[in-house]
Homo-oligomer: A and B are copies of this chain.
């Protein structure tokens, strides 16, 4: 019981044993990727679907002044770009935030999977709808929440999403990313991220040493961050 994609998709509803088997088969071909590798670049037109098996990927857009905005984090179990081939070209980059492993599912395999297995098609639909929900919630954060709440909110989200695929159940997450990457995510300067993290540590809301994030009291952090998990559309907690 440890295949992230299966666990993730089962958040949308139970799958049959053969469905699960088909997903495991489809993701057998795995590629290892070093941190900071650009997996898909803006302008590309990929012909396969990627699924994160371990580590973190992100979606990022670059702005003319050299800045960068990260617009999504992908964790194990997350499929990327289930239907990219419908668009002419990628409008952003897909970049490895940490060392990670990525399964590559050719378009034909993907199409067969969704045509022959309605439960899987539906689950992928669910996944993209949730991705949209996450984007909307991030937008709310950017528009209405100060930087400290935004960062806390991100940590809450990462915890719940990891727990949905059987990780971080003890409140501990691997987080091998730099403060600059957090800054690109929450839309503030590196310096300000640093100050905010210190404050969050000060108030004992988080422990973070550069590669491990420990959330000792998630409920308190969620209250601080004004975090309501509804937008993740996860099944009720066991």
Contact = CB atoms under 8 A, between A and B. Distances in A.
Interface of A: 12, 59, 61, 63-65, 67, 69, 71-72, 83-84, 86-89, 91-92, 122, 125-126, 128-133, 135-140, 142-145, 184, 186-187, 226, 230-231, 233
B132 A131 contact: yes
Contacts of A144: 63, 65, 67, 69, 187
A64 B136 contact: no
Contacts of A139: 69, 71, 135, 138-139, 142, 187
Contacts of A129: 83-84, 86-87
B69 A143 contact: yes
B233 A88 contact: yes
A87 B136 contact: no
Given A63-B140, A63-B145, A86-B125, 5 more contacts: A63-B144, A88-B233, A128-B132, A138-B139, A144-B187
A187 B136 contact: no
What is the oligomeric copy number?
A: 2
A69 B140 contact: yes
Contacts of A184: 143
Given A83-B129, A86-B122, A87-B129, A142 B92 contact: no
A136 B63 contact: no
A47 to B, nearest CB: 16
A125 B71 contact: no
B86 A140 contact: no
Given A91-B133, A133-B91, A136-B135, A143 B83 contact: no
